[in-house]
């Protein structure tokens, strides 16, 4: 075995690499897939944690990785807000606008964590059994 890696059959326990912001091209909107995954225009399923270039209308299961994607996401969230406000007005209810994160070229944006693993809600933390 090499270094401090432990082999357990088909599994290996290697030190977790430090997170680095992915390098993406700026010619097309780039997204990270979050939440429950994403089906693109070709019905290909993209799993949470994968990244893709996508020129179509984003969804709430995508997270912008460059400024082009961020701008497209803001337009999409504006559209959701307009539709949500219309429905709320008809039903005489109050509408809460979609949450937004400011874009920053200098800092890493907080990539949302996966909410569900294989359909089971993710726990905040698990206690170690001793």
What is the tens place of the pLDDT at every residue in 38-70? 998 888 999 988 899 999 999 999 999 899 999
Cα distance between residue 83 and residue 24, in whole Å: 32
User: Could you give the CA distance from residue 45 to residue 97 in angstroms, rounded to a whole number?
Assistant: 28
Length of the chain equals 130
The model's pTM is: 0.66
Interval 72-101: pLDDT, tens: 999 999 999 999 999 999 999 999 898 888
Pairing of strands 45-46, 120-121: unpaired
């Amino acid at each position: 075995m090499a270094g401090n890696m432990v082999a357990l059959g088909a599994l290996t326990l290697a030190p977790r690499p430090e997170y680095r912001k992915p390098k993406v091209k700026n010619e097309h909107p780039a997204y990270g897939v979050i939440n429950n995954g994403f089906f693109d225009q070709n019905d290909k399923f993209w799993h949470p944690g994968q990244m893709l270039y996508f020129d179509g209308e984003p969804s709430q299961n995508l997270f912008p990785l460059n400024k082009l994607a961020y701008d497209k996401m803001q337009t999409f969230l504006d559209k959701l807000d307009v539709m949500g406000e219309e429905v709320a007005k008809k039903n005489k209810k109050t509408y809460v606008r979609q949450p937004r994160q400011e874009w920053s070229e200098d800092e890493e944006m907080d990539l949302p964590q996966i909410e569900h693993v294989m359909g089971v809600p993710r726990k905040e933390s698990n206690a170690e059994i001793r």
